[in-house]
Structure 1
Amino acid sequence: MRLTYIGPVLAGHDHPALEELDARRLPPSCYLVEVGEDAGVDGEIIEGDVLVIHEARPVQHGDLVVVQGEDSLRLCRSHRVGGRFRLMRTSGPKESFFARQPDCRGVVVRLARA
């Protein structure tokens, strides 16, 4: 699913989904993305959700991970295989691909829904 970069996590951010978010409790290596319309409205993550992404957190098995696609940021689920990760798309074609830690743009640490 496509993600739209919103910006770094800052106190007083005016996005409606972030009213409950305390930015002071998150490290400065976090940023926000909004889930695109290709997510639909009947899954774990739906259109319009805002995700808090931690850039410095290492990817683990089963994490939701942000990777750079050909034209946008994409959300994938990670499956650890040795020193690499097999990343599976969370929506769209059920294709998977191998990646290493440096290929990942961050790990989802929080979901906010308006």
Structure 2
Amino acid sequence: MLVTYLGPVVPGLTDPYVLSLGVRDIPLSCYLVEVSDEAGVEGKIQESDVLVVDEARALQHGDLALMDIEGQLRLFHCHRIGGSFRMIPAGGGQGVFAKQNDCRGVVIGHHRSTRITPSITNTVS
């Protein structure tokens, strides 16, 4: 599942938004990403959802994590197997084996977007 980098979490600037995601004590190693329309509108993670990612957090079994695959950030479910991890794409598909340093960050917060599309109205004078 493809995600788009939105930018770093900046204390004092993005904190109110991040706190609305249910995350407290945000480290400076965090950034925000938005889930692409590839995710669809069904399931736990949907298009336009915003995720808080901590790039300094250690990867653990059961985490949602980001990896850079061919220049694109993609979301994976992590399953620990011995000293490595089996990374299963969040949208389904074949998994890949990875090490801790292959991970670009662990998801620590999730916000369901309530994006409203403005309607266009015609006015007659």
TM-score in same-fold range (> 0.5):
yes
Aligned residues: 111
| CA deviation after TM superposition for structure 1 residue 12, in Å | 3.0
> Match of 1:60?
60
Distance 2:9 2:23 in 1: 6
The answer (yes or no) to whether the contact 2:67–2:74 under 8 Å persists in 1 is yes
- Residues 18-75 of structure 1 show CA distances to partners (whole Å, capped at 9, x for unaligned) of 5825887200000000000000001100000000001111110010010001131000
Distance 1:89 1:79 in 2: 11
> Match of 1:82?
82
Unaligned runs of 5+ in 1: none
> Match of 2:5?
5
Structure 1 pair 8–23 and aligned structure 2 pair: CA distance change class (3 A) = farther
TM-score w.r.t. the length of structure 1 is 0.88
Distance 1:24 1:78 in 2: 23
Task: Percent identity, please.
Answer: 50
Structure 1 pair 58–12 and aligned structure 2 pair: CA distance change class (3 A) = same
The answer (yes or no) to whether the contact 2:37–2:47 under 8 Å persists in 1 is yes
Q: CA RMSD in A?
A: 2.1
Distance 1:104 1:69 in 2: 10
Q: Higher relative CO (CA 8 A, sep ≥ 6), structure 1 or 2?
A: 1
After the TM superposition, which segments of 4 or more aligned residues of structure 1 sit over 3 Å from their partners? 21-24
> Match of 1:101?
100
The answer (yes or no) to whether the contact 1:9–1:23 under 8 Å persists in 2 is no
The answer (yes or no) to whether the contact 2:22–2:109 under 8 Å persists in 1 is no
Larger-Rg structure? 2
TM-score w.r.t. the length of structure 2 is 0.81
The answer (yes or no) to whether the contact 2:23–2:108 under 8 Å persists in 1 is no
Distance 2:23 2:62 in 1: 25
| CA deviation after TM superposition for structure 1 residue 2, in Å | 0.4
Secondary structure in 2 aligned to 1:38? helix
